[in-house]
Amino acid sequence: MKGKVALVTGSATGLGKMTALSLARQGCHIAINYVNSQEQAYALKSEIEALGVRAIAVRADVAKQEDLEHLAEETEQHLGTVDILVNNAGPFIRERRLFSQYTSEEIIHLVNGNLTGVMLLDHMVLPSMREKKWGRIIHFGFGHAGEARSWPHRSVYAAAKVGLVSFTKTLAVEEAPYGITVNMICPGDIRGANKEKSIAEVAGISDSDTPRGRSGSGEDIARVIEFLCMDHSDFITGNIMDISGGLDPIRPKIASQP
């Protein structure tokens, strides 16, 4: 992957940061994307440049088309056309709510950030990937997204990601003749500081909720993405991959309402 250009959305912190570092260690030039984490983004830029590759940090909200256009333009201007696109960023409301409790603005923002924005950014980078006959696109979902099950209290987010499942599979088929692979990664319940930890760092942390028995880490996710981006991983496309330690994050029952 030496010399490839990788754009990783939402990469100043968390799983995106671990992915950006993993690809940089393989020789990729990295476009870091952030919205609020400017300090962390520029600290990561320095860390990546110390590995001997180039990096830029660009502020852009993936729910806004004009921001995505700016992100794509800045990446091409400073690093070159995108070879690897990792769509990690996506708004999420952690508070559990029934669908009726969401505002219309929240619904639009969640769908734009998790589905429409992903499609638009893919659309922006596809021409250059087609021209080069090589490209890697990674989408992010949630555990069991491929089954399109109900997920009470997460209705809008889940609907957007399940829509992205279908788009992932369709785009994979359409772009396969051009040497472009498209896959979805579905992380388990990896929270807080564990998102930026290695497998070795979480190996001794017990997690009774996960069948594997340990907590997940950012490295668990980044190493799978790194593998999918390798040249000889071109036979893997259109897949929805759960990286969850066997955990089912969906709780189908809700408390009865008064």
pLDDT in tens, 129-180: 999 999 999 999 998 898 998 889 999 999 999 999 999 999 999 999 999 9
Give start and end residues of each alpha helix (H) in 147-187.
155-175
Domain span at residue 129 reads 5-243
In a domain, 69, yes or no: yes
Read off the pLDDT of each residue in 9-28 and give the average, rounded to a whole number.
Answer: 97
Distance CA 87, CA 114 (A): 9
Does the pLDDT value for residue 254 go beyond 80? no
Q: At what angle do helices 155-175 and 104-111 cross, to 10 degrees?
A: 20
Residue 104 or residue 202, greater confidence: 104
Count how many domains the chain has: 1
In a domain, 251, yes or no: no
Do the Cβ atoms of 97 and 156 come closer than 8 Å? no
Name residue 34's amino acid. Answer: Y
In a domain, 139, yes or no: yes
- Of the pLDDT bands very low, low, confident and very high (cuts 50, 70, 90), residue 247 is confident
In a domain, 248, yes or no: no
Q: Tell me the DSSP string of 196-237.
A: G--HHHHTT-B-TTSTTSB---HHHHHHHHHHHTSGGGTT--
Q: Tell me the DSSP string of 129-158.
A: HHHHT-EEEEEE--TTGGGT---TT-HHHH
Predicted TM-score of the model (pTM): 0.93
Mean pLDDT of the chain: 93
Distance CA 208, CA 197 (A): 19
pLDDT value, residue 88:
97
pLDDT single digits (tens) 71-99? 999 999 999 999 999 999 999 999 999 99
In a domain, 255, yes or no: no
pLDDT value, residue 258:
47
pLDDT value, residue 37:
95
In a domain, 90, yes or no: yes
CATH assignment at residue 213: 3.40.50.720
Does the pLDDT value for residue 40 go beyond 80? yes
In a domain, 52, yes or no: yes
In a domain, 197, yes or no: yes
pLDDT value, residue 108:
98
DSSP for residue 113:
I
Does the pLDDT value for residue 251 go beyond 80? no
Helix (H) / strand (E) containing 55:
strand 55-59
